[in-house]
Amino acid sequence: MRLSDLRGARVKTLDGDTLGRVHEVHVENGRVVALTSGPGSIIEMLTAKNHGRRIPWSCVKKVTPDAIVVVPDPPQRIVKKPSASRSRQGTRRPSAPRSKH
Amino acid sequence: MNPLELTLGIMTAVGGFVDISELVFAAKAGSMFGYALIWAFALGTIGMSVFGEMSGRVAAIAKQPVFNLMRHRLGLKLGLITLIGSLISTLITCAAEVGGMALLLNYLTGLPYLLLAVASVAVLMATMWVLPFKWIERTYGLLGLLMIVFAVAVVAIHPPWAKLAGGFVPQVPSGLSSKELLNYSYFIVAILSAVLFPYESYFYSSGGIEEGWGAKDLLTNRVTCTVGFGLGSLLAISILASSAQLFGPINVGPEIPGTTALEAAIPFGKTGLLLALLGMLFAVAGAAVETCMSNAYAISQFFGWEWGRHAKPWEAPRFTLAWIAVMLLALLIVLTGVDVMSLVEYAVLFSIIVLPLSYLPLMLLANDKSYMREHANKWLAKSLGWLFFIIVTAAAIAAIPLYLLTSGGGG
Amino acid sequence: MSAFDHIKIVSQLLDLPIVDKDERFCGIVDDIELSGTAGKEARVKALLVGPGAYQGRMLGWMFWIVRKIAGDRMARVPAEQVTEIGSVVKLKSRAETLGLHQVEDKVRAWIPRKGAL
């Protein structure tokens, strides 16, 4: 299974209700613990501030090419807060002062 | 902050600010509309300072150039569209710069244009191969300072200073016919595009990584972007002002750089002409190098290749191949015989269309505290950034209709 | 504390540049392989790097063009190789041992090693 199989996939319950599309996959200690699904928007994608419904991975019944099927009415946590800060230290390059052009 | 390095950095920014598009549009704007479009250069320069400062800050703090982070934010598909659009617009700009070099060398030597295009590319590629990054930048930037002759020339011809100063105020000249008004609008869009070319922020942010910028360099970044770009912009405004004073009243349309060089020849004779032509040559050559390297940076960063001229060419082989390919493609475009002025028009048109997609990720990254920590955009950078984003988006939407309605500013 | 302690792999890992032990760029996180199945334990198994990894991320005809231009090679970087995830993904080994620098090394053979200061 790949991330590309999950991301953007439609989420449906066994009852046939649609819960939007997957736009985030949460991992803890290397394990997948939840998906976030929702209508999503280009602004959310650009700002990496995805709001929506967090669905525990244990509620996922099936992953198919057409949709991800979850239990009816999965316990939800509406994600409202922006994504938590992570250290974003990059690589170093040889240092020397510079100019524009 | 090392004062010598800072001074050299500012001087390089001044000498390297102007490229063939700014040369052409400044001269034409002056002859057609007098001093009325000075404000468009000033506005574009403020925008360039805002986005340039942001891209330098992102490079210094996030330690990542804009195109790396752009793919991360836009994703693969939208990122590819942005990449392809940017590559095409920057390649056309590179071809315009190479053609401009050949044209200027033709005035200086009388040798055939196409032969000089080949020779120009050979010299550019040799400097890019041999010299490390800092000296590529400095060589052309400092030699481009010969353009100061235009600033001195405008003082020597005693323009109406009050009218010139009035040009800094956004305006619509009175008495324009609807056709002239459309032309005026097209020139606003074209000037904004020429000053705000996306390759400049890609090159600037990649250069910041090349030179290992960190938090200690933020002040240098800010000073370079404000003082350096501001003074560089005055060179373009000098060309516009001289054109307004010398060519406007006699209805001469400076369609080619050779005519623009006369602005320095009229007050200073042969010496002025020579300095003007050489200054333009080095400024345009510097822009050719920047556009070429900017494309190589964009491709390499998008696909995660080793990149940069801080490394030897064989240490970043795909990056090296990329800039060689870009330069040769630019030469191929010039060798088709397409008119340099047409290339300039297309470069400006394509660039303004990709500008919003290019600057939006930069804005969002510079706002992102997870990357930028305490150096994320404060209220001033945020406000100015969003203001200029709205301006460039409006210009991007208006660009093609105005180009078609005015036949590329020809009326 | 592992690199995958608390992470959102779409917004904080996918499409990040990768650098090896010597801080050389060696690709982008083009996709992520997960082990396990729906509802049961699923883990991050490997990072997938290379044009072959685009297949699940673009339309068929787009991938056909990509394959014609760049081929469909793909390298798997086991998750254990990842030491840090920030604005880049840092690996504990050199790119060559993970099969990440093959094209770079091939192209290097075409570039003359002289003349540069």
Report for A6-20, A79-93, B103-117: range of highest mean pLDDT = B103-117
pLDDT at A31 over 60: yes
Q: Which chains touch A (3 or more CB pairs under 8 A)?
A: B, C
Q: Do A99 and B224 touch (CB under 8 A)?
A: yes
AA identity, residue B266: I
Angle at the Cα of B139 from the Cα atoms of B134 and B143, rounded to 5 degrees: 145
User: To the nearest whole angstrom, how far is the Cα of C42 from the nearest Cα of chain A?
Assistant: 5
Tell me the residue range of the domain where B337 lies: 3-406
pLDDT (tens digit per residue) in B379-396: 999 999 999 999 999 999
Between chain A and chain C, the number of residue pairs with CB atoms below 8 A apart is 100
Q: Do C33 and A2 touch (CB under 8 A)?
A: yes
pLDDT (tens digit per residue) in B6-48: 787 787 788 788 899 999 999 999 999 999 999 999 999 999 9
Tell me the residue range of the domain where C66 lies: 17-108
Element (H, E) at C17: strand C17-19
Q: What residues of B are in contact with residue C88 (Cβ under 8 Å)?
A: 64, 68
Q: Do B207 and A96 touch (CB under 8 A)?
A: no
Q: HSE, CB side, 13 Å, CA atoms: give it for residue B167.
A: 26
| Contact B230/A at CB under 8 A | no
Please report whether residue A99 resides in a domain.
no
For residue C10, CA distances in Å to A24, B54, B288, C32 come to 5, 25, 37, 9
Count the domains in chain B: 1
Q: Do C23 and A3 touch (CB under 8 A)?
A: no
**Average pLDDT, whole number, for chain B?**
91
As a whole number of angstroms, the distance between CA B107 and CA B27 comes to: 18
Q: What residues of C are in contact with residue B306 (Cβ under 8 Å)?
A: 24-26, 104
What CATH number is attached to the domain comprising C68? Answer: 2.30.30.240
User: To the nearest whole angstrom, how far is the Cα of A56 from the nearest Cα of chain B?
Assistant: 25
Q: Do B62 and C87 touch (CB under 8 A)?
A: yes
Token pair for residue B136? 């590529």
Count the domains in chain A: 1
Start-to-end C-alpha separation, chain C: 43
pLDDT (tens digit per residue) in A39-65: 766 666 666 665 678 899 999 998 888
Predicted TM-score (pTM) of the model is 0.90
Question: Would you put residue B88 in left (φ > 0), alpha (ψ -120 to 50) or beta?
Answer: alpha
Q: Which residue has the higher pLDDT, C86 or B162?
A: B162
Question: In which band, very low, low, confident or very high, does the pLDDT at A97 lie, cut at 50, 70 and 90?
Answer: very low
Whether the Cβ atoms of residue B34 and residue B244 lie closer than 8 Å to each other: yes
What CATH number is attached to the domain comprising B70? Answer: 1.20.1740.10
Please report whether residue A39 resides in a domain.
yes
User: To the nearest whole angstrom, how far is the Cα of A83 from the nearest Cα of chain C?
Assistant: 9
Whether the Cβ atoms of residue B26 and residue B348 lie closer than 8 Å to each other: no
**Dihedral of CA C31/C3/C46/A77: which sign?**
negative
| Confidence (pLDDT) at A79 | 53
Please report whether residue A71 resides in a domain.
yes
Please report whether residue A50 resides in a domain.
yes
Q: Do A97 and B225 touch (CB under 8 A)?
A: no
User: To the nearest whole angstrom, how far is the Cα of C82 from the nearest Cα of chain B?
Assistant: 16
User: To the nearest whole angstrom, how far is the Cα of B253 from the nearest Cα of chain A?
Assistant: 30
pLDDT at A99 over 70: no
Q: Out of A80-84, B146-150, B167-171, B361-365, which region has the weakest mean confidence (pLDDT)?
A: A80-84
As a whole number of angstroms, the distance between CA B353 and CA B393 comes to: 8
As a whole number of angstroms, the distance between CA B224 and CA B7 comes to: 9
| Confidence (pLDDT) at A91 | 44
Please report whether residue B411 resides in a domain.
no
Please report whether residue C43 resides in a domain.
yes
pLDDT (tens digit per residue) in C37-81: 887 889 999 999 999 999 989 888 889 998 998 888 999 999 999
Please report whether residue C78 resides in a domain.
yes
Q: Do C58 and B305 touch (CB under 8 A)?
A: no
Helix (H, G, I), strand (E, B) or coil at C84: strand
| Contact C28/A at CB under 8 A | no
Average pLDDT over residues B333-351: 92
**Average pLDDT, whole number, for chain A?**
74
Q: Do B8 and A99 touch (CB under 8 A)?
A: yes
Chain centroid, CA B112 distance in Å: 27
> Residue C68: exposed, middle, or buried by beta-carbon count in 10 A (0-12, 13-18, 19+)?
exposed
| Contact B373/C at CB under 8 A | no
**Dihedral of CA A93/A96/A100/B1: which sign?**
positive
| Confidence (pLDDT) at B65 | 80
Tell me the residue range of the domain where A31 lies: 3-79
| Contact B74/A at CB under 8 A | yes
Residue ranges of alpha helices (H) inside chain A are 3-6, 42-47
